[in-house]
Homo-oligomer: A and B are copies of this chain.
């Protein structure tokens, strides 16, 4: 730990502490997202190799319902968790489309 503020614009140690937590959490989120894309890339390759259809609406609905329920236990807005998952899934689709070119 350090007494130095995170930037010269925030000499407030309370704010600097909060920001350090946010930065730690954001780093964890980025590395988890990177890991998630590694798995979805493997899923895409596996589906192509086994001639499974790329999209699975039943699976997607189940994912969203599960995440909404988890969000409630974490006191996170379920609508946000759903919007977040759709945001990530859209990026996965974009990856798959790019890799097909």
Contact = CB atoms under 8 A, between A and B. Distances in A.
A50 interface: yes
Interface residues of A, number: 52
Counting chain B CB atoms within 10 Å of each CB, the highest count among A36, A56, A81, A85 belongs to: A36
Contacts of A75: 34
Nearest to A68: B30
Identical subunits present: 2
A18 B63 CA distance: 13
Contacts of A36: 22, 25-26, 29
A55 interface: no
A49 B84 CA distance: 30
Contacts of A10: 56, 59
